[in-house]
Structure 1
């Protein structure tokens, strides 16, 4: 069984929700939620943003990677529960400066893995410069373009499609 390192444990325990709120204050989260809502009016996909200060102790104890937590949050936030299997989770783990993008199967089949990595790299560059809101806004725009290209909203629909998931980013301390 893997053992957590003291250094990793300390790093994750030192980050808390206040750190996440400093990186993305309430007004920034509201603007990001509005971007998600505007995006979802153009396609049938769902976009969720999750910012987590540090991993739960159970993940640290198992020395689990950030990707495992992102996949778990993909399920917990019900991003997988979209009609066309085209949800996307943008996940940030502040304690490790990790960015994970989890795309549901239908969209993952349309987009090469290298494209997701380019998006992660661009987000990382913005975050290193302290531009968390801009990095996420750019990522939402990029995911929006992919979803609109592969899963456009039916322009002839009589009523707008119901919003299956909340648009506001989730912040976990």
Structure 2
């Protein structure tokens, strides 16, 4: 069954809407937070924003989680030496955060821990606090990674730190 109001929200969401929530300075702050975070653990974090899904995908019932898994693959977050990549994906039209962890870290961190981070971020978004929500989310993900994959003597930056804007 099609959620008609969700479909309309995605259909009429302007492609530039991400800029209201994440101006250039916010993207810079997020990039810096990811860079600093990765000195504390051996994981890799990517943050991706997608304004809306194509109407046909919404019509077919694609969830934010399904799209996040696609983006995880497209951005090659799985392609790290220790399988410790984490994608934080925001589907702006739904104010939906999905966190997808690679198998090396997913085996060590309960799914409920990732869901708690996502819920805290979504709560900040409901208050219009997008930058704060993302920065707090990165901090919480970093704490989980630091506990389960502490830094090694060699800790190369395997994935770009700059937030990715998905244009569909």
**Which runs of 5 or more structure 1 residues have no equivalent in the other structure?**
none
Q: Take 2:113 and 2:3, find their aligned partners in 1: how far apart are those partners?
A: 33
Corresponding residue SS for 1:59: helix
Between the two proteins, the alignment pairs up a number of residues equal to 167
Question: 1:153 — aligned with what?
Answer: 151
Structure 2 CA distance for partners of 1:5 and 1:150, relative to 1, 3 Å: closer
2:160 counterpart of 1:166: yes
Corresponding residue SS for 2:107: helix
Q: Take 2:93 and 2:73, find their aligned partners in 1: how far apart are those partners?
A: 22
Deviation at 1:13, TM superposition (A): 2.0
Corresponding residue SS for 2:66: helix
- Residue correspondence of structure 1 range 113-132 to structure 2 within 5 A: 113-132=111-130
**Which runs of 5 or more structure 2 residues have no equivalent in the other structure?**
none
Question: 1:69 — aligned with what?
Answer: 67
CA RMSD of aligned residues (A): 1.6
Length-normalised TM-score, structure 1 = 0.89
- Residue correspondence of structure 1 range 13-162 to structure 2 within 5 A: 13-155=11-153, 157=154, 161-162=155-156
Deviation at 1:137, TM superposition (A): 0.4
1:67-92 deviation digits (Å, cap 9, x = unpaired): 10000000011111111111111111
Deviation at 1:133, TM superposition (A): 0.6
